[in-house]
Amino acid sequence: MLVSDERHPTYLLAPEMATLIRCADDWRHELMFATLWYTGGKIGEVLALKGSDVRLEPGAQVVQYPIKGGGTRSIEITDPYFQGVLARGLRERVEVHHQPMLGIARQSASQWLKARMEHLDSRVPGRFVDVDVTFNTFRHSFAFNALLHAVPLQTLQHWLGHSNPEMTRRYMSYLGHDPREHMARVCFS
């Protein structure tokens, strides 16, 4: 886990996120937490996600979020675990394909997150993590994980739905971005 300060929001690494998501006691909890982590969606977007926004056809496995001004931004789903979570969510909510898959309000989502963190804290001496985990923690963790895996900023900007590239560039500070270090690695001869 990497701790926040005034300039850097809190984010968790993949092992902590996997633990947080996979100890679900309800398929909807798992679906909400997994969708937040695997797509970088905002909590409002995830709560509004409908079955019709998810495509799990061969060669076209995506989650689509609407963007301001019309259109959608698509997040490709390549992880087999998350594909399975989405498929289960679609099976469970087949009768309401054009209604939100989770069918809950933000207050319920907040209660789910609080209960999950209390459960994890009870299993670990001290606390599961030493920070307060919020819905933004999932989004920040998604962005940091993408940068760790060399996702170009323009692609990350699209995935996060940022209209301003500077909003996405702020995540570079997580990596201790120092242009001098990058230049020292460039070979000119």
pLDDT of residue 3: 46
Residue 8 lies in a domain: no
Give me the chain's average pLDDT, please: 84
| Cα-to-chain-centroid distance, residue 174 | 16
| Structural element, H or E, at residue 108 | helix 106-123
pLDDT of residue 78: 93
Residue 104 lies in a domain: yes
pLDDT of residue 25: 78
pLDDT of residue 4: 45
Asked if 139 contacts 41 with a C-beta cutoff of 8 angstroms, the reply is yes
pLDDT of residue 121: 84
Higher-confidence residue of 172 and 155: namely: 155
Higher-confidence residue of 170 and 37: namely: 37
The CATH number assigned to the domain holding 64 equals: 1.10.443.10
* 38/31 Cα distance (integer angstroms): 10
Q: Is the pLDDT of residue 9 over 80?
A: no
pLDDT tens digits, one per residue of 107-163: 999 999 999 988 888 876 777 777 788 999 999 999 989 988 889 989 999 999 988
Domain of 135? 14-185
Asked if 120 contacts 128 with a C-beta cutoff of 8 angstroms, the reply is yes
Residue 9 lies in a domain: no
Q: Within 13 A of 34's CA, how many CA atoms are on the CB side? A: 23
State how many domains the chain has.
Answer: 1
Task: Give the percent of the chain with pLDDT over 90.
Answer: 43
Residue 6 lies in a domain: no
pLDDT tens digits, one per residue of 66-84: 887 788 899 999 999 999 9
